[in-house]
Amino acid sequence: MPTDILSLERLDTPTGRMLILTDEERRLRAVDWEDHEARMQRLLRQHYGPSGVTLRESSRPSAARRSLEAYFEGDLEAWTGLPTTTNGTPFQRAVWDALRRIPVGQTVSYGRLAASIGRPTATRAVGLANGANPIAIVVPCHRVIGADDSLTGYGGGVERKRWLLRHEGAHPSQHASQGEIEFSRLA
């Protein structure tokens, strides 16, 4: 398996220092917090194999970094249209695509997310796919909450999840209604 060379950038944010990985085509491959670098490395090995990626410090700011800076400065849709790519399973990619369609300021339950991709009984699998998301914030897995509006687990920690939702003006009791989110169903 050929090794992908990914550019590594570090960004100081109100929620801690972030790591941003982009490929040679400038597509975003991974975002995580520096204190969760081990998790990011584990996901990279899981998605690309034990020697599937090589990291190199970036010499110039990427569009992904600029988008994340703008997001933290208040432009909550700064990454709209930002190209991303992942190596997850087809099911994981379907979940991650659906996550990108949750509007800013809205939350959905795992059950609603599962139903939106045509897999209403796959709530647990959706939760696992959500947890395997390598692109924090841009693929907004932080917008998924428990059916009882609880702030369930988050790879970056529940306090960061709470901060991100507040930053976006979301309140867990503001579930997006089915009509507000247009999800594509799996065939």
Residues forming the active site: 141
Extract the runs of DSSP E, i.e. beta strands, from 26-157: 28-33, 53-57, 108-109, 144-145
Task: Name the strands in the sheet holding 16-22, side by side, starting at the edge strand that comes first in the sequence.
Answer: 28-33, 16-22, 4-13, 53-57
Residues 106 and 25: their CA atoms lie apart, in Å, by 31
> Among 153, 90, 141, which residue's Cα sits nearest to residue 119?
90
> Among 143, 131, 64, 63, which residue's Cα sits nearest to residue 101?
143
